Amino acid sequence: MSPKVQPNKTLIYIASMFAIILWGMSYIWTDQLIDQGIPIFYFVFVRIFMAGTVLFLFNTAYARIKRIQREDLGKFLLLAFFEPFIYFICETVGLKMTESPTISAMVIATIPLFSIGAGIIFFKENINAVNVAGILLSLVGIVMVAMAKGDLGEHFIWGIALLLIAVIAEVGHASITKSLSGNYPSQTIVMYQFLIGSIYLFPLFLWKGLDGFNVEVYFDGDVWYPIICLAILCSSLAFSLWVSTIKNLGVAKSSIFSALIPVAAALIAWAIGHELMNQRQWIGIGISTLGVIMSQYTKKLK
C-alpha cells in the first residue's frame, strides 16, 4: 500500500484566503443587488441554481461526477438545507433587517466559537490553549474592524436572531461537509449541495422572487453582472476551495478563516474607495491576523 500523501499546508492556506477574499467581495455584489431593489429570493435562487449548473457541466466534462451513495443521501439533503437554504436566506434577510452590515458581520464572525464545540464533540479535533486564544484574539480584531456608528433598524432584534440562525446553519454545514469529504471530491459535494438547495429555494423564488418582475430590469447587465460573479466566483469556486479547507484543517480551525470575511470585506471596500479605514481598524486587522496564526498552532503544549 502506497503511503498517504500529505496535503501541502501552504496551498491549503492560500486556497482558504482566496475563498475568504471572494466572500468578502460577495457583500459588495449583494449590496448592489439590494440597492437596485432586486428581490432577495430572486437573486439567491438564480445564484445557487447557476452555481450548481456550472459545477455539473464542469464535473461532467472531466468525468468527476460520483453518484450519491444511499447511506449518504440524508446527509446531502441536510447539507443543502443548512447551506445554501437556511444560511443564505437568514444571512441576506438578516443583513437587510438590521440595516447595519457592520453589526451583522460581527454576529457572523462568532462562527468559530460554535465550531470549536462541533469540532471537539463530533470529530474529536485537538484544540490547544493557543488555538483558543488565537480564535478569541481574532474575534477581538474583527470587532475593532467592524465596529461602526449607525442607527439600528426597526427590525434589528429579528435581524440578529436570523443571523444567529445563519451561524448555527454554517456550523452544521461544515460538520456534514467534513463527514462527506472523505468519500466525494470537493466539486461533487458542492454541486449536489447547490442543485438540491435550488430545489428548496424554487418555491420561494416563484412566491416572492418574481414580485414586480420586469424583463428590462431583471435582465439588465447591472443586475446580471453581480449575480454571475456571486454564482461562479463566490459559490462554485469559493465553496469548492472551502470543502478542501474543511477536509484538511477540520471544522474548528477552518472556521477561523470564515471569521475573517468581515475584515476582507472592509479591506476590499477601502481598496475600491467605498470606505475609509481609520487607525483602530488597521490595528484590528493586525490583531486578527495574529489570531489566525495562533489558531493554526499545532505543537502540543507541555
What is the model's pLDDT at position 123? 66
CA 44 vs. chain centroid, Å, equals 14
User: What is the pLDDT averaged over residues 169-192?
Assistant: 90
- Name the residue among 49, 100, 131, 101 with its Cα closest to residue 297: 131
**Range of weakest confidence among 14-18, 70-74, 141-145, 246-250:** 141-145
Give me the pLDDT at residue 285, please.
75
30-44, 211-225, 273-287, range with the lowest pLDDT: 273-287
Cα–Cα distance measured from residue 107 to residue 28, given in angstroms and rounded to the nearest whole number: 18
Task: Decide if 285 contacts 267 (C-beta within 8 A).
Answer: yes
The confidence score (pLDDT) of residue 149 equals: 47
Give the dihedral of Cα atoms 193, 199, 200, 204; nearest 10 deg: 140
Measured between alpha carbons, how far is 270 from 272 in angstroms, rounded to an integer?
6
More confident residue, 270 or 123: 270
C-alpha cell at position 44: 439567491
pLDDT at residue 171, rounded to an integer: 86
At residue 126, the pLDDT reads 74
Distance between CA 139 and CA 301 in Å, rounded?
23
Is 64 or 90 the better-scoring residue by pLDDT? 90
Q: Among all chains, which residue has been given the C-alpha cell 485537538?
A: 126
Residue 102 has pLDDT above 70, yes or no: no
Burial class (CB in 10 A: 0-12, 13-18, 19+), 285: buried
Higher pLDDT, 107 or 41: 41
Proportion of the chain above pLDDT 90, given as a percent: 33
> Which tens digits make up the pLDDT trace of 109-159?
777 767 776 777 776 767 778 878 887 887 787 777 666 545 555 677 888
Q: Which amino acid does the sequence have at 89?
A: I
Give the confidence band of 255 by pLDDT, cuts at 50, 70, 90: confident
Residue 81 has pLDDT above 90, yes or no: yes
Confidence of residue 6 (pLDDT cuts 50, 70, 90): low
Instruction: Examine the pLDDT at 301 and tell me if it is beyond 50.
Output: no
Of 38-42, 156-160, 287-291, give the range with the top mean pLDDT: 38-42
- Per the model's pLDDT, the better-predicted residue between 284 and 79 turns out to be 79
* Predicted confidence band of residue 65 (pLDDT cuts 50, 70, 90): confident
| Interior/surface letters 58-87, b for 16+ CB within 10 angstroms, e for the rest | ebeeeeebeebeeebeebbeebbbbbbbbb
What is the rounded average pLDDT for all residues in the chain?
83
Least confident window among 179-188, 222-231, 293-302:
293-302
Distance between CA atoms of residues 117 and 167, nearest Å: 13
Environment class of 149 (CB within 10 Å of its CB; exposed 0-12, middle 13-18, buried 19+): exposed
pTM above 0.85, yes or no: no
